[in-house]
């Protein structure tokens, strides 16, 4: 019953009409049929006014009181699956008789009449429908014959926004993630539309462009979308290569290097075929990390050497930072803490200069872990605390635990490798008798 009330947005008339249906249906059946609530919620009391005898006639009565412009904007807003901003409305809903300059006043009128809900998110005003009103607006959009055009305009708008911001997202990741958090439901709806219409090329582009959202917010979901779109259809070689890279990256984050290898090999091949040293350097570096995780040190070293050669002379900080990250992780696996410290120190400097918060966190984690493994607890603590603080207070996403699990699993694989020097050194340190009594 609580679920039914929630899905009916707490509207008294809607709940009353749903209660009437309990004469012939169970609550569970009513809940399951709410996808077509206007057909279900009819049959109000005979003593009620005619406009109160069905949910649709009640909303129709309010809808008829709107101006022509308000009715037009209301139905077009139904293409937004989640929250939306004034910029979104001006770009998607303004066409024909509605200009972008009119959008603000028309939107204000709908808010004043309680047909839209206004929320403030990160100093930006955004808006959303009650689900009942959104379903009504969808019906009006179909009746007006505008559904296909407005949906296409919405898809084009979000594709353009995603592709335009993709190259800069890692450098201004804080602002970009605020935007992505606000818009992700709308972008998901666009991805579903591409999937339904078999537009695999655009779906691949948008999925790849959202790489830093999947990396920092929704690893499993990102893998699912990329697998759906990479499975078929042509796409621009550059975007296809980056899509494979992101797919491999996500598998590495999930500590599944065996799953990462095919995607990263495809990304490397795409980078070589298209002569894209930027893609090639990052893909080779990530492939080196994956090979180390599965225990193939020789392949990891070979790929790392190729990544270093690809990035040499290239003015591309992300590629350089990726190679430094792979070098640091390779140092962990080879037991060379000096190499870890050298690579991570350079990485911290470059990440700060580039404003790359994600890479900075990774490099601080490397430095702190190296100090911890060397037994220098005083040096490791501030580095690890800063990495965790940046992770939770700046990116506001639980990457720390995910990275810790990845590191621990990789460390376990590394420690089981015969002849591993770092695990031997760690074991020797722990086997020394301590002059201090153990705490209880």
Given pLDDT bands bounded at 50, 70 and 90, which one contains residue 56?
A: confident
- Tell me: do 286 and 412 sit in the same domain: yes
Q: Which residues pair with 127 in a beta bridge?
A: 84, 118
Q: Is residue 176 part of a domain?
A: no
- Tell me: do 400 and 310 sit in the same domain: yes
CATH number at residue 91: 1.10.10.10
Q: Which residues pair with 126 in a beta bridge?
A: 85, 119
Contact 131, 9 (CB under 8 A): yes
For 50, the domain range is: 2-60
- Residue 408 is predicted with a pLDDT of 45
- Tell me: do 9 and 107 sit in the same domain: no
pLDDT (tens digit per residue) in 378-408: 998 989 888 888 777 445 544 444 544 444 4
pLDDT (tens digit per residue) in 27-41: 777 676 666 656 656
- Residue 202 is predicted with a pLDDT of 96
Angle at which helix 68-76 crosses helix 100-112, to 10 degrees, equals: 90
Q: Is residue 340 part of a domain?
A: yes
Q: Is residue 363 part of a domain?
A: yes
- Residue 387 is predicted with a pLDDT of 85
pLDDT (tens digit per residue) in 109-167: 999 998 999 998 878 899 999 888 898 999 999 999 999 999 999 999 999 999 998 87
Domain boundary among 115, 145, 175: 145
Q: Is the dihedral of CA 246, 248, 252, 254 positive or negative?
A: positive
- Residue 174 is predicted with a pLDDT of 82
Q: Is residue 123 part of a domain?
A: yes
- Tell me: do 347 and 391 sit in the same domain: yes
Q: Angle CA(404)–CA(408)–CA(413) in degrees, nearest 5?
A: 150
Any idea which of 214-218, 261-265, 345-349, 421-425 has the lowest mean pLDDT?
421-425
**Residue predicted with more confidence, 311 or 5:** 311
- Tell me: do 27 and 102 sit in the same domain: no
Q: Is residue 122 part of a domain?
A: yes
- Tell me: do 35 and 53 sit in the same domain: yes
Q: Is residue 370 part of a domain?
A: yes
Total number of domains constituting the chain: 3
Given pLDDT bands bounded at 50, 70 and 90, which one contains residue 10?
A: low
- Residue 104 is predicted with a pLDDT of 94
Q: Is residue 214 part of a domain?
A: no
pLDDT value at 436 more than 90: no
Q: How many other β-carbons are positioned within 10 Å of the β-carbon of residue 216? A: 24
CATH number at residue 359: 1.25.40.10
- Residue 409 is predicted with a pLDDT of 47
Domain boundary among 145, 169, 203: 145
CA distances in angstroms from 82 to 131, 163, 173, listed in the order given: 10, 20, 22
Any idea which of 42-51, 115-124, 256-265 has the lowest mean pLDDT?
42-51
- Tell me: do 390 and 321 sit in the same domain: yes
- Tell me: do 306 and 406 sit in the same domain: yes
- Residue 12 is predicted with a pLDDT of 55
In percent, the amount of the chain with pLDDT more than 70 equals: 77
- Tell me: do 11 and 123 sit in the same domain: no
In percent, the amount of the chain with pLDDT more than 90 equals: 58
Provide the pairing of β-strand 84-85 with 124-128: antiparallel
Given pLDDT bands bounded at 50, 70 and 90, which one contains residue 270?
A: very high
- What's the whole-model pTM score? 0.81
- Tell me: do 325 and 367 sit in the same domain: yes
Q: Is residue 401 part of a domain?
A: yes
Using CA atoms, how far apart are residues 304 and 327, in angstroms rounded to an integer?
Answer: 7
- Tell me: do 12 and 133 sit in the same domain: no
- Residue 424 is predicted with a pLDDT of 53
Tell me the pLDDT of the chain averaged across its residues.
83
Burial class (CB in 10 A: 0-12, 13-18, 19+), 300: buried
pLDDT (tens digit per residue) in 407-425: 444 444 444 444 455 555 5
- Tell me: do 8 and 99 sit in the same domain: no
pLDDT (tens digit per residue) in 70-103: 999 999 999 999 999 999 999 999 998 999 999 9
- Residue 54 is predicted with a pLDDT of 65
- Residue 385 is predicted with a pLDDT of 86
């Amino acid at each position: 019953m609580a679920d039914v009330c929630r899905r009916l947005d707490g509207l008294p008339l809607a709940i009353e009409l749903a209660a009437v249906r309990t004469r012939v249906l169970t609550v569970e059946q009513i809940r399951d049929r709410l996808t077509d609530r206007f057909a279900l919620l009819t049959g109000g009391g005979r003593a009620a006014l005619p406009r109160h005898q069905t949910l649709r006639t009640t909303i129709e009565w309010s809808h008829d009181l709107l101006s022509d412009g308000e009715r037009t904007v209301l139905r077009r807003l139904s293409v937004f699956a989640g929250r939306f901003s004034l910029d979104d409305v001006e770009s998607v809903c303004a066409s024909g008789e509605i200009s972008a300059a009119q959008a603000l006043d028309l939107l204000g009128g709908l808010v004043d009449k309680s047909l839209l809900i206004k929320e403030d998110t990160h100093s930006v005003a955004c808006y959303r429908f009650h689900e009942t009103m959104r379903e009504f607006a969808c019906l009006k959009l179909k009746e007006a014959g505008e559904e296909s055009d407005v949906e296409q305009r919405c898809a084009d708008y979000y594709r353009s926004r995603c592709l335009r911001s993709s190259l800069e997202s890692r450098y201004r990741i804080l602002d970009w993630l605020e935007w992505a958090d606000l818009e992700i439901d709308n972008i998901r709806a666009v991805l579903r539309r591409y999937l339904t219409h078999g537009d695999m090329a655009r779906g691949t582009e948008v999925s790849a462009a959202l790489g830093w959202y999947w990396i920092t917010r929704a690893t499993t979901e990102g893998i699912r979308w990329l697998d759906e779109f990479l499975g078929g259809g042509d796409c621009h070689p550059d975007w296809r290569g980056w899509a494979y890279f992101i797919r491999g990256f996500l598998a590495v984050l999930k500590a599944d290097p065996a799953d990462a290898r095919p995607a990263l090999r495809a990304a490397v091949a795409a980078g070589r075929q298209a002569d894209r040293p930027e893609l090639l350097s990052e893909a080779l570096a990530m492939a080196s990390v994956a090979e180390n995780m599965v225990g193939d040190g020789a392949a990891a070293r070979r790929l790392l050497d190729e990544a270093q050669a690809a990035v040499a002379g290239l003015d591309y900080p992300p590629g350089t930072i990726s190679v430094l990250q792979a070098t640091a992780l390779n140092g962990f696996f080879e037991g060379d803490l000096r190499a870890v410290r050298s690579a991570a120190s350079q990485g911290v400097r470059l990440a700060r200069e580039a404003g790359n918060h994600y890479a900075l966190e990774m490099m601080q984690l490397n430095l702190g872990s190296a100090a911890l493994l060397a037994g220098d607890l005083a040096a490791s603590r501030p580095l690890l605390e800063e990495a965790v603080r940046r992770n939770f207070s700046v990116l506001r996403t639980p990457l720390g635990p995910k990275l810790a699990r990845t590191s621990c699993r990789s460390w376990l694989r590394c420690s089981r490798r015969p002849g591993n020097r770092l695990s031997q050194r760690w074991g020797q340190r722990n086997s020394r008798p301590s002059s201090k009594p153990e705490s209880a």
